Amino acid sequence: QWTKIKVAISPSPPTTSRKTARRAATQGNLSDIIKATLKAARKGRFEDAKFLVPQINDQSKRDTCCIKAAGNAAEFGQFEIVKFLDPQINDQEKRGTFCIKTAAYASVYGHFEIVEFLLSHINDQPNRDTCCINAAEVAARNGHSKIVEFLVPQINDQSNRDICCIIAAEEAFENRQGLEQPYSSIYEFPIIRYFDNRHFEVVKFLVPQISDQCKRDAFCVTAAEYAAKYGQIEIVKFLVPRISNQSNRDTCCIKAANSGHFEIVKFLLSQISDQCKRDAFCVTAAEYAAKYGQIEIVKFLDPQINDQSNRDTCCIKAAENAADNGHFEIVKFLVSQINDQSNKDTCCIKAAENAADNGHFEIVKFLVSQINDQSNRDTCCIKAAENAANNDDNTRATALMLAADAGHHELIHKLIDLGASLHAQDTRGRTALSRACQAGHVRAAKILIDNEADASHRDSQGLTCAQLAQRFEQRQVLRLLNPAELSDHSEQDRRLSGELHRLLSDAGFTEQRAECQQRLADWLKGVARVLTQDGRRMTGSYAEGWANSLVQVNGRTAADSDIDWTVLFAGQKFHLEGGCEKYKDSCRDAIPLQVNEGHAQVAVGAGQ
């Protein structure tokens, strides 16, 4: 069983691979030999490689083949093959290229012995520096700290060493695996996709190696900002204290303030010594936290602001962000922290505008109630209403468009007065006038036109308002839009009117029957007055009762029809609901009457 397993996991038997190599060398062309050499290097077939390389007679092509084969061998850690290939390269310049490229390949996969061997074979110092820089960068990217720690001290030129440390540290930070777009500037960081202890060890080694303090500070500032953004608190704690210049350190902390990570915010604040800058940090961090609903951070930062004016400024700005995004609890907290009533009013007005713009009604109601000055409250309501008027939904329909859809002409008047845009378009390119014309609301369309809405506007299908009205058979709207064509429809109107008259007559609604009903009504009214003999005044008629009691369209009353009239007694007052605005005191204690099927229920004073 052991023999079977051993055969299964071993490479091809030497005899087989050697036969393949010999066949390529004797029967194949130069291209076949090179392909076989590259494959042997990748698979670790040392004997094959030793046999094939000498078969390439052209020295230039042999050098090129060895460089490529060494890359394959280095990738898979085939140290013996790399050592064999190095002396096969005759051209000294190409050998330098060989060592630089192969060392980079080996560094990607952490093959330390290969890197060490190759570097020892580079005599030219500039080439050694280039080899170390390139290999250190890719080793840092992949978290191979041992290789990085070996290569950096080998760089002779200090300026090159600093550049190497900065770029390698960025590579460790960035870890480019999976990134599609490379970056160009050494101070631009893409998203940190993956960062573990191996990469952290690399960064911890590299940062102290940067001798130029200005460059070190610049790196730490940028790196700390991105580490804070992605919640890498250990890295932040390592980098910030290494910024030697306190002003730069403060700047770093303020830039990283909007990390949104509570522990990082607390740490960064502790690193700022200047109180003014602490206040600036708190304002920036609180604005960001309020925007994303992080109430614990907001509550922590507010009392840290020493200057009351700065605190009020912080609360105002943060409340705007919170209201904009619907974070009610944060808004309530921030408003309560403002002592100056004038500042509180300012805060409420600005926050209410943002809340109204995004449809957060409960926040608007709360903010309006917190404004002490009536003039400021009016200003707040007007501005909030203006924002709400121009707000749109997911189809980009504004309040004015929705009012036009429903034909609410009074609301349309109000919205226009509040500054609602007549030219705003929904996702289908329709304006409020377009939608009013489509829905057939003549009065709404007239108000919009009177306020200079563009009737010639075309929607996304290229249809004007008139064409929309025509498509949906809105003839009254067409008359409004094209008054010159009114005469064209007069004959049709006369025809339709005659048809309606004929149908009503056939159903029993005739002029003679109406006259008869009116005479009956007058006679009934006279009979009622004689019977009561108390000077009652009655409204209503038998004819009205007849019209209101129909159960079918045939001009006849139903068996249970009743004829109603209203009797008004002298000295008794009736107050119509909502109709006594000028005389509120006279009806303050009036008892509302119950209404049943359209009739007010009173104890006395009426009859049927």
Where is mean pLDDT largest: 69-83, 117-131, 520-534? Answer: 117-131
Least confident of 69-73, 173-177, 299-303, 461-465: 173-177
**Domains recognised in the chain with CATH numbers:** 399-486 (1.25.40.20), 511-575+599-608 (no CATH)
Question: In this predicted model, which residue has the larger pLDDT, 285 or 497?
Answer: 285
Residue 190 has pLDDT above 80, yes or no: no
Residue 198 has pLDDT above 70, yes or no: yes
User: CA-CA distance, 376 to 352, in Å (whole number)?
Assistant: 12
pLDDT attached to residue 28: 57
User: CA-CA distance, 426 to 396, in Å (whole number)?
Assistant: 5
pLDDT attached to residue 592: 75
Residue 371 has pLDDT above 80, yes or no: yes
Where is mean pLDDT largest: 182-186, 356-360, 554-558, 559-563? Answer: 356-360
Strand partners, 538: 567
Q: For the residues 503-521, what does the mean pLDDT come to?
A: 75
Biggest alpha carbon–alpha carbon distance for the chain: 140
Where is mean pLDDT largest: 4-13, 98-107, 176-185, 458-467? Answer: 458-467
pLDDT attached to residue 18: 52
Residue 90 has pLDDT above 90, yes or no: no
Residue 437 has pLDDT above 90, yes or no: yes
The amino acid sitting at 495 is R
Task: Please check whether residue 478 is in contact with residue 470, taking contact to mean a CB–CB distance below 8 angstroms.
Answer: yes
User: What are 126-162's pLDDT values in tens digits?
Assistant: 888 899 988 888 888 888 889 999 999 989 888 888 8
Q: For the residues 477-491, what does the mean pLDDT come to?
A: 73
pLDDT attached to residue 465: 94
Where is mean pLDDT largest: 235-239, 533-537, 566-570? Answer: 235-239
Strand partners, 567: 538
- Confidence band for 403, pLDDT divided at 50, 70 and 90: confident
Least confident of 10-14, 86-90, 137-141, 332-336: 10-14
User: What are 451-460's pLDDT values in tens digits?
Assistant: 999 999 999 9
Task: Please check whether residue 282 is in contact with residue 269, taking contact to mean a CB–CB distance below 8 angstroms.
Answer: yes
pLDDT attached to residue 12: 45
Task: Please check whether residue 407 is in contact with residue 443, taking contact to mean a CB–CB distance below 8 angstroms.
Answer: yes
Task: Please check whether residue 296 is in contact with residue 262, taking contact to mean a CB–CB distance below 8 angstroms.
Answer: yes
Residue 527 has pLDDT above 90, yes or no: no
User: CA-CA distance, 267 to 261, in Å (whole number)?
Assistant: 10
Nearest CA to 147 out of 99, 113, 103, 112 is that of 112
pLDDT attached to residue 467: 92
- Confidence band for 536, pLDDT divided at 50, 70 and 90: low
Question: In this predicted model, which residue has the larger pLDDT, 10 or 384?
Answer: 384
Question: In this predicted model, which residue has the larger pLDDT, 446 or 565?
Answer: 446
- Sequence-distant (6+) residues with CB within 8 A of 323 are 331, 351, 352, 354, 355, 360, 363, 367
- Confidence band for 289, pLDDT divided at 50, 70 and 90: very high
- Confidence band for 553, pLDDT divided at 50, 70 and 90: very low
User: CA-CA distance, 108 to 136, in Å (whole number)?
Assistant: 9
Region label for 578, one of left (φ > 0), alpha (ψ between -120 and 50) or beta (otherwise): left
Share above pLDDT 90 across residues of the chain, in percent, rounded to a whole number: 20
Share above pLDDT 70 across residues of the chain, in percent, rounded to a whole number: 78
Residue 185 has pLDDT above 50, yes or no: no
Residue 487 burial by Cβ neighbours in a 10 Å radius (0-12, 13-18, 19+): exposed
Task: Please check whether residue 99 is in contact with residue 86, taking contact to mean a CB–CB distance below 8 angstroms.
Answer: yes
* Pairing between β-strand 566-568 and β-strand 599-600 as defined by DSSP bridges: unpaired
Strand partners, 235: none
Residue 532 has pLDDT above 70, yes or no: no
Q: pTM for this structure?
A: 0.49
pLDDT attached to residue 176: 39
3-state helix, strand, coil in the chain (%, to 5): 65, 0, 30
User: What are 555-592's pLDDT values in tens digits?
Assistant: 444 455 555 555 555 556 666 666 565 555 666 677 77
